[in-house]
Structure 1
């Protein structure tokens, strides 16, 4: 064992010398500053390289962004509006406007209704896509809605006999809307009874209906078997457009509480009555005038 741990004098001198060399080299490494060669940097190429990296990064970010497809701003809902960056108040203004059966027909009108910022307007307005009849309406505006003056009753065409092509003579009525009007007219089994029924055709704005009333009239009206309001049953009332069973019960309940209706416009006081459809519902009702007289 002693032979493995005992060193001779020469061996001990060698070990001390090795330790001394190691210590000297460590001191040289830490305390002596050796000159280093400067690395030459080409600033022009470095700037070009940074621009290339930035462009690739931006290109990747653009690809990750959701693409916006052309759309009709009239049909923006809560989710669509939020994804476009609209605030809750801006979306609510649009929904209130549409709830009145009004239509936005230009980008400027959209900003006027919603009051969105100019920056957001510039970002999303290029994607607005309005129906063809809107463009046609603007192009023909100088002709005063496609006809001069107000036609007399004799000059007007019968709304129950005109073709889809003739309907397109009115500003705001294109191929889609004209076919929709004819289809709705056929569903009435006898045609229109009054021009006011055009309000039930989806997509017709009040302005377009007004233009049609100047051009057409119901000269061969469908004969409606009117229902006596003060004796009508629930089953009779639900045959009238826009009256369901709940509303029919409310109408009869109101009649029972007041013994009888004195005027048809008292329906406007009935719970949940669709006031905007009163004129259409009125076409199907009759009221005797001598109830209390």
Structure 2
């Protein structure tokens, strides 16, 4: 009887000891983590924040903090680099789970994605803790529009080269961007030569803004682009290159009877040859913007 009790006690103690050893591993396995999955065909990049990393499949699965080097610069392992493109990815997706993650840095996240055409789920990218967005979308040559109106930029200090060389970009919605803490904004829109509209309701200030709007030759907000005025002094919707976005989501202005139409755009920023059925955004010769509904 005593031997049996002793045997049972030993069994319980061993089980208890094993549980103590395994619990930390189980807890660790169930912790949420941020990571990136490249699909098997290498065309889609998906960002997750959950406890399913070990079960995800694709050509690659990377932790959000994994990096690579090119010369002295450090890049996310999934991105292109200053010199080398990421030529295959066409779509990036921020999964709904990612909204619970708080990155502190988004430098180079999509740099040199030469075939990237669409980024889905940007509302799931919480930027409230981000301090730097350096070259985040630089040289995304096939992106035509970006709606970043949900970005919180209150803690951002660096936006240098953020959209530089996005040569197909026509429309940017930065309507809620604030730059109170930004120290560097140089070359932010440099060589965005297809860009026609930047929606932003705020006036930006920054001490370092060299060539911020360099070669944005098709850009027009309150005024037309002037190659001699390319710094942060033009980053406002009253006398600069920004266009105000009202609660309807459409820029509005008062039509001057003597003004003539200079350019016509669809509501998603595409330039049109003539007024189309529905709502049109029209640039007038007096520098104002008018919305015109054609039946």
TM-score (normalizing by structure 2)? 0.28
Bigger relative contact order, structure 1 or 2, given CA contacts below 8 A and separation 6+?
Answer: 1
Rg comparison, structure with higher value: 1
TM-score (normalizing by structure 1)? 0.28
